[in-house]
Amino acid sequence: MTGPTPRFVVHPDKQVLADAVAARLVTALVDAQSEREIAELVLTGGSMGAATVAALARIPARAAVDWSRVQVWWGDERYLPSGNPDRNCTQCDDAGLMELGLDPALVHRVPGPDTSESTEDSAERYAATVRDHGTGPFDVVLLGVGPDAHVASLFPHHPAQTAGGTITVPVHDSPKPPADRVSLTFDALMRARQVWFLVSGAEKADAVAAAAAPGADRWDVPAAGVRGTDATLWLLDLAAAAALPGGTAGP
C-alpha cells in the first residue's frame, strides 16, 4: 500500500481527543487554504465526529479558518430521510456544524429516501456532486472506526468493499442497522491527502490493534485499507489504544 506509514497519537480521554483533533484540523485547513482556494473536508458522524464538530464550534482558533472556503462532504451516510437523528450529517448539524460560518452551497449531503428514488440513485447523485463540485483531492478525511474495524460503510467481508473505479457505492444488507447506506469507496478515500482515524473507547481497542498489525488485509480489517497520500493519523484516546503493542505515543 502506498502512502507514508501511519502515525498513532494518543490522548488521555475522549474530550481531550476531540479538542486536540479540532485544533489539529484548524491548522490543516489553514494550511490547505494557503495553497488552494477551497479546502476539501470529509466529515464522519458518530460520537467522535459530533464531539469534534462541537469542539470546533467552541474554540477561538476556529476564526483562523475562512469557513466560507471550506467544502464539506461525508464519508458515508445512512439512507434515511433528511433530519433523521441517525444520519451522520444530522449529528454534525446538532453539534454546531453550521455555526462555523460555512457556505451552505458547499455543504454536500447524501440524498436520502425523501429526495432520491433508491440507494443506487443516491450514490450516483452523490458521486456526480463530487465530480462536478470537488476541486481536487480531499484535503482531510475524518473516519470513525467500528468495533469490527469497518470505516465509512465498508464492512468486513461485505461486497461493497469490492467496488472499484467508482467514487461511491450503494450498501445493502449492512451488518449494522440501518441496512441501506451510501459510502465513498476505497478508491475515493485513498485519493485523500490526509486520512485521520478518530477512535475512542475500549470497545474499539481490538479493532485499532488489528488495523495496526503488519500485513492486515482490508477484506478482514477495512480500517487497514485506507491511507492518505501525504499522511495517515490514528488519533486515539487511551482506552482505544490499550491493545497496541509497544506502549503508546503522546501528542
Quote the pLDDT of residue 2: 66
Residue 109 lies in a domain: yes
Residue 127: its pLDDT value, please? 98
In a domain, 243, yes or no: no
What gap in Å lies between CA 105 and CA 108, rounded to an integer? Answer: 7
C-alpha–C-alpha distance, residues 159 and 153, integer Å? 11
What is residue 245's predicted lDDT score, i.e. its pLDDT? 87
Containing domain of residue 77, as a range? 7-237
Query: What is the reported pLDDT for 230?
Result: 98
Question: SS3 of 214, please?
Answer: coil
Identify whether 251 is part of a domain: no
Place of cell 484516546: 237
- Residue 4 is predicted with a pLDDT of 85
Residue-level pLDDT at 3: 75
Residue at 139 is within a domain: yes
Closest CA to 250 of 242, 240, 239, 238: 238
- Give a yes or no: residue 245 inside a domain: no
Q: Is the residue at 2 inside a domain?
A: no
- Give the three-state DSSP class for 84: coil
**The pLDDT value given to residue 1:** 62
Question: How high is the pLDDT of residue 206?
Answer: 98
- Considering the domain boundaries, does residue 249 fall inside one? no
- What's the rounded Cα separation, in Å, for the pair 138 and 133? 12
CA 212 to chain centre: 18
- How far, in Å, CA of 161 to CA of 104, rounded? 31
> Which of 94, 97, 28, 93 has the alpha carbon at shortest distance from 65?
28
**pLDDT single digits (tens) 19-70:** 999 999 999 999 999 999 999 999 999 999 999 999 999 999 999 999 999 9
Q: Tell me the pLDDT of the chain averaged across its residues.
A: 96
| SS3 label, residue 135 | coil
Q: Give the chain's domain count.
A: 1
Could you tell me the CATH number of the domain that includes residue 194? 3.40.50.1360
Intervals of the chain under pLDDT 50? 250-251
pTM summary value? 0.96
